[in-house]
Amino acid sequence: MKLNLFLLLTITLLFYNANAQTQALINGNTKFTTDVYKSLISTEKGNFLVSPFSAQVVLALASEGCIGESFDQLTKGVGIPTNSNIRHQAYQQLLQSFNQDSELLKLLSANKIYVQNNFTIKQAFQNIARQVYYSDIKNINFAENVNAAEVINQWVEEHTNNKIQNLISSDSLSALTRVVLINALYFLGNWTQKFEVKKTAIGDFTTISGSNVSVSFMTNDGNYNYKETKIAQFIELPYQHDGNQSVSMIIVLPKQGKSGCMNVQSIFRRPTFTQNRVRVILPKFSIQTSIEFTPILQSLGVTDIFNKETADLSGMAGNKGQLIVSKVVQKTFINVTESGTEAAAATGVIVGTTSVQLPPPITFDASRPFMYYIQYNSIILFSGRVSDPSK
């Protein structure tokens, strides 16, 4: 009996810890998504797409080399768990689950660290990079900046099905560059309920400026998770998948004249859905976005790592003040069609020296600006806004 009780307690504790780790990531991911979205809607006037998850992963990897206030600012600003055991187990388990490459679902994440020839990064950082973040490490000569950018960008293209190109500009690399950290994220999913191509028709979309543009609208009648409030409609469009994953796109459609009433936090707080018969009218759209993350991070209180007087990346290499983060960039891509969605993102951190009869269906008519996000087991991979699908 003692042995059985011990096993039961062990299993229970492991299950509790796994939930705690996952929940810590979910909470941080949701907050970071909200903060980034708030920043982007103040600067981006049209369509955009961002991958908060891709940024979080590569910045979590960077945080492993940060010490003191540099670490505190980065983990707090980006929503990264500060407890190393929770952080390491959570990212290790989550990234391991991303290795899905089937006809139903492709969800792939890869990390890479490029290090200047003859520059040494600390063994402890290398171990964490490989064992927790599954990152490869490669030496390169950044002084040959054109060639170095080509090598890095080719790797990104290979890991995003050629959807993300020219992530790193040669101008951002120089003889002073010491480390470049990259995350590539690729998603290809088929709708559980596909839209019939024969039902796709041209219609008017009212843009954020109030003008009408002609675009292709997909239509489907089906049973969906649906929620309606006084200011918006929410719908969940699930993707096919293997196993017990939850993979879906959630679309938030403000009601006429209510877009200004939307609280950004409410967009990414999963509503209590009920199953309803819904007629979904959704425009086909394709979006590419380039994002300079440095000012966004600085607005979230992540400042020390960009300042040679305060940066402490000595957990990665060298001593305090020897390394600073010079740039954080991201490129994203999404294409939404009748069959499903293809999306990709890549984020780079550049370190240098000194994402019976049925009643009539409810109508979800997305013929005006809307917000959307793709979630995997409650982790937000991509989020964005469609203001004009003709662009």
Which residues are paired to 193 by β-bridges?
A: none
User: What residue spans of 44-164 are helical by DSSP H?
Assistant: 52-63, 69-78, 84-97, 123-131, 145-158
Residues 40, 162, single domain; the answer is yes
CA atoms of 372 and 362, how far apart (whole Å): 19
Residues 124, 208, single domain; the answer is no
At 164-175, the pLDDT tens digits run 999 999 999 999
CA 126 remoteness from chain centre:
24
Please determine, for residue 11, whether its predicted confidence score (pLDDT) is greater than 70.
no
Q: What is the pLDDT of residue 208?
A: 85
Residues 93, 136, single domain; the answer is yes
Q: Is residue 113 part of a domain?
A: yes
**Which value, to the nearest 10 degrees, does the dihedral of the CA atoms of residues 168, 391, 30, 251 take?**
-150
Q: What is the pLDDT of residue 13?
A: 37
Say which residue, 360 or 297, is predicted with more confidence: 297
Greatest mean pLDDT range, 3-7, 99-103, 179-183:
179-183
- Burial grade of 101 (CB within 10 A; 0-12, 13-18, 19 or more): exposed
Q: What is the pLDDT of residue 339?
A: 95
Residues 78, 224, single domain; the answer is no
The token pair at 241 is 């998948």
Residues 133, 230, single domain; the answer is no
Q: What is the pLDDT of residue 358?
A: 53
**pLDDT category of residue 47 using cuts at 50, 70 and 90:** very high
CA atoms of 205 and 203, how far apart (whole Å): 7
Residues 183, 216, single domain; the answer is no
Q: Is residue 9 part of a domain?
A: no
Greatest mean pLDDT range, 5-9, 139-143, 208-212, 346-350:
139-143
Q: Is residue 8 part of a domain?
A: no
CA 77 remoteness from chain centre:
16
Strands 177-190 and 105-116: antiparallel
Once rounded to an integer, what is the mean pLDDT over residues 111-134?
95
Q: What is the pLDDT of residue 352?
A: 79
**pLDDT category of residue 17 using cuts at 50, 70 and 90:** very low
Q: Is residue 378 part of a domain?
A: yes
Residues 308, 219, single domain; the answer is no
Q: What is the pLDDT of residue 8?
A: 36
Total count of residues recorded for the chain: 391
Task: Please state whether the predicted TM-score (pTM) of the whole model is above 0.85.
Answer: yes
CA atoms of 364 and 353, how far apart (whole Å): 52
Number of structural domains (the chain) is: 2
CA atoms of 55 and 296, how far apart (whole Å): 11
CA atoms of 39 and 61, how far apart (whole Å): 23
Once rounded to an integer, what is the mean pLDDT over residues 326-353?
91
For residues 106 and 187, the answer to whether their CB atoms sit within 8 Å is yes
Once rounded to an integer, what is the mean pLDDT over residues 216-234?
95
Q: What is the pLDDT of residue 5?
A: 38
Percentage above 70 pLDDT, the chain:
92
Strand ranges, E, within 229-284: 232-238, 247-254, 274-283
Residues 261, 127, single domain; the answer is no
Q: Is residue 57 part of a domain?
A: yes
Q: Is residue 24 part of a domain?
A: yes
Looking up residue 156, the CATH number of its domain turns out to be 3.30.497.10
Q: Over the chain, what is the mean pLDDT? A: 89
**pLDDT category of residue 242 using cuts at 50, 70 and 90:** confident
Q: Is residue 103 part of a domain?
A: yes
CA atoms of 353 and 138, how far apart (whole Å): 19
Residues 153, 98, single domain; the answer is yes
Long-range contacts of 118-124 (CB under 8 A, 24+ apart): 119/178, 119/179, 119/317, 120/317, 121/65, 121/179, 121/316, 121/317, 122/65, 122/315, 122/316, 122/317, 124/315
- Structural domain range at position 207: 197-281+357-386
Query: First vs last Cα of the chain: how many Å apart?
Result: 67
Residues 145, 267, single domain; the answer is no
Residues 172, 226, single domain; the answer is no
Question: Side chain identity at 85, as an amino acid letter?
Answer: N
Once rounded to an integer, what is the mean pLDDT over residues 260-285?
90
Return the SS3 of 188.
Answer: strand
Once rounded to an integer, what is the mean pLDDT over residues 185-189?
94
Please determine, for residue 262, whether its predicted confidence score (pLDDT) is greater than 90.
no
Q: Is residue 2 part of a domain?
A: no
**pLDDT category of residue 18 using cuts at 50, 70 and 90:** very low
Question: Side chain identity at 239, as an amino acid letter?
Answer: Y
Residues 27, 163, single domain; the answer is yes
